[in-house]
């Protein structure tokens, strides 16, 4: 029984298990209760040994070990340093043990449309997706598919996911999936179903139990997602930013996803103008108008509650699109009373060098507390036929770049390991350790969870995965991170909060 939970029990002395006459002298029920108690203790405290441990926050450790106590990491180092005589040890063998992967941008509810839309531009794909979502019983189909997709994510080593839902119907179905979640509820101004405005968004969060202290680390955290600058009015966007600040919720939004978006924001022309014209509920006169940098500055000022936001001339063409208050003033409360919510800008495929510099200067890496991040979805980027993404320049500028998958309607899988291996093939010059950091620590920071997950460090939750190593694990030149990304092995073990989760092959 003890071996079933991974304990190495090799002697009568280990954990005080009795044998011989003393054991026979005990009533059988008492012995069974003692055995069950020892199993419970072993499940709460254990040591994982691996040929390699990759903390991400430090160099790889050969013949490494991680002690887990109460679901959190209590020690990490060489096996000889971590082992104690009384330990329950699970020897994982020839594997690399690393933090669970973080998928910072997904749409699980679109999983039912996997394989139904061919690769194309976003503006060819989006109308087709809208039509598919109008089919009979989309709600039930989307919920069932979302649950299955979440389990597939877990099996692929994703232990935390930032999932965006248009209406939140899928969230209840995800309660039984032991994957750490940041649940982003999406706002589209004037949509056919709620939430259609910030008030409805707040009420929906209340109904789902997303309280004002939702930033407290747990398995179910919450966030808000104003969809994009072409589907959310300027005033609604300001209000959602304030809502995120007040409730200390992360915020994510699609920004600079296409060149057509940039053209429409600045000039109200081009293909996006045609798309918006076909959807009269999108009130063009109330949308933000200006360049991407102006949009980012506006959101940042509102979040910080700085009191003053210089609004560019291009953004002053209608009263509806101005921030609340005087012509060039945003009043969002005192900076001293507010903590800026983490902001995650999805895609940022078409940003200028000055915008990259702005993002880098406001990354959490350069500021204490919470900052701004960019999530890059490599294979979805290829699906839509975009030009090369500036993620390398972003990293060089100090931007916190993390990874997402987008949806199965525009990707082959939701596996971040697959994203990493794809990036490794197209950017072999990028160090494997840097790529792993993007998929773990950077993603955790983007979602407001860098003090909870994303590295193998004492005090963090024991969200861990193991990946077999087939190449020679010895020698001074061996790079376990490169071996993982250059290989093709699947994840063999997944732990969330120190509990091993059953995975499918």
- Is residue 219 very low, low, confident or very high in pLDDT (cuts 50, 70, 90)? confident
The tens digit of pLDDT for each residue in 254-263 reads 999 999 999 9
Please state the pTM of the whole predicted model.
0.86
CA distance 403 to 392: 13
Which span out of 282-296, 307-321, 375-389 was modeled with the highest average pLDDT? 375-389
Q: Which tokens go with 333?
A: 């409360």
Mean pLDDT of 34-43: 47
Residues 6 or more apart whose CB falls under 8 angstroms from that of 178 comprise 154, 219, 496, 499, 501
The tens digit of pLDDT for each residue in 404-416 reads 999 999 999 999 9
Which residue is listed with tokens 């009130």?
283
Pairing mode, strands 499-500 and 158-165: unpaired
Backbone dihedral region of 250: left (phi > 0), alpha (psi from -120 to 50 degrees) or beta?
beta
CA distance 493 to 184: 28
Q: What is the reported pLDDT for 282?
A: 80
Identify the structural domains of the chain with CATH numbers, from first to last.
2-99+457-500 (2.30.40.10), 101-259+341-446 (3.20.20.140)
Q: Which tokens go with 498?
A: 């120190």
The tens digit of pLDDT for each residue in 90-141 reads 999 999 999 999 999 999 999 999 999 999 999 999 999 999 988 766 667 8
Alpha-carbon dihedral of residues 256, 261, 266, 268, nearest 10 degrees? -160
The tens digit of pLDDT for each residue in 399-456 reads 999 999 999 999 999 999 999 999 999 999 999 999 999 999 999 999 999 999 999 9
- Is residue 505 very low, low, confident or very high in pLDDT (cuts 50, 70, 90)? low
Q: What is the reported pLDDT for 367?
A: 52
Mean pLDDT of 343-350: 98
Alpha carbon 98 to chain centroid, angstroms: 16
With beta carbons less than 8 A apart as the criterion, state whether 76 and 67 touch: yes
- Is residue 324 very low, low, confident or very high in pLDDT (cuts 50, 70, 90)? very low
List the helix and strand counts (H, then E) for the chain. 17, 16
Strand partners, 222: 183
Of 211-220, 264-273, 331-340, least confident by mean pLDDT is 331-340
With beta carbons less than 8 A apart as the criterion, state whether 296 and 358 touch: yes
Q: What is the reported pLDDT for 138?
A: 67
């Amino acid at each position: 029984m003890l071996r079933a939970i991974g304990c190495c029990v090799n002697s009568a002395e280990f954990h005080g298990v009795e044998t011989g006459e003393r054991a026979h002298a005990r009533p059988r029920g008492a012995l069974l209760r003692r055995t069950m108690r020892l199993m419970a203790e072993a499940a709460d405290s254990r040591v994982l040994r691996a040929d390699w441990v990759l903390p991400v926050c430090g160099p790889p450790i050969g013949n490494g070990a991680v002690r887990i106590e109460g679901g959190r990491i209590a020690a990490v180092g060489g096996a000889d340093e971590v082992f104690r005589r009384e330990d329950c040890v699970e020897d994982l063998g020839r594997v690399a043990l690393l933090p669970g992967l973080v998928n910072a941008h997904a749409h699980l509810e679109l999983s039912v449309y996997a394989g139904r839309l061919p690769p194309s531009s976003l503006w060819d794909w989006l109308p087709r997706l809208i039509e598919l979502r109008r089919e009979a019983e989309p709600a039930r189909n989307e919920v069932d598919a979302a649950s299955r997709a979440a389990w597939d994510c877990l099996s692929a080593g994703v232990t935390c996911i930032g999932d965006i839902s248009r209406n939140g119907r899928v969230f209840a179905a995800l309660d039984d999936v032991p994957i750490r979640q940041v649940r982003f509820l999406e706002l589209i101004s004037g949509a056919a179903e709620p939430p259609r405005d910030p008030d409805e968004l707040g009420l929906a969060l209340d109904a789902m139990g997303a309280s004002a202290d939702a930033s407290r680390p747990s398995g179910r955290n919450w966030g808000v997602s104003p969809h994009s600058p072409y589907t959310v009015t300027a005033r609604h966007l300001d209000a959602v930013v304030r809502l995120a600040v007040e409730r200390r919720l992360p915020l994510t939004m699609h920004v600079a996803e296409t060149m057509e978006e940039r053209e429409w924001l600045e000039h109200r022309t081009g293909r996006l103008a045609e798309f918006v014209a076909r959807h009269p509920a999108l009130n063009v006169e109330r949308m933000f108008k200006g360049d991407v940098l102006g949009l980012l500055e506006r959101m940042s000022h509102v979040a910080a509650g700085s009191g003053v936001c210089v609004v560019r001339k291009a953004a002053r063409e209608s009263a509806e699109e101005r921030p609340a208050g005087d012509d060039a003033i945003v009043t969002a409360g005192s900076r001293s009373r507010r903590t800026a919510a983490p902001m995650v800008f999805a895609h940022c495929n078409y940003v200028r060098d000055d915008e990259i510099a702005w993002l880098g200067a406001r990354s959490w890496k350069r500021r204490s507390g919470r900052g701004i991040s960019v999530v890059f979805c490599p294979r979805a980027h290829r699906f839509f036929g975009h030009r090369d993404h500036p993620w390398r320049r972003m990293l060089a500028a100090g931007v916190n770049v993390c990874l997402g998958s987008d949806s199965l309607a525009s990707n082959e899988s939701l596996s971040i390991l697959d994203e990493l291996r794809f990036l490794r093939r197209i950017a072999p010059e990028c160090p494997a350790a840097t790529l792993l950091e993007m998929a773990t620590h950077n993603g955790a920071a983007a979602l407001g969870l860098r003090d909870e997950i994303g590295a193998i460090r004492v005090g963090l939750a024991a969200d861990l995965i193991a990946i077999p190593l087939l190449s020679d694990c010895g020698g001074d030149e061996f790079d376990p991170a490169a071996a993982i990304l250059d290989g093709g092995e699947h994840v063999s073990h997944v732990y969330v909060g120190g509990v091993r989760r059953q995975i499918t092959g």
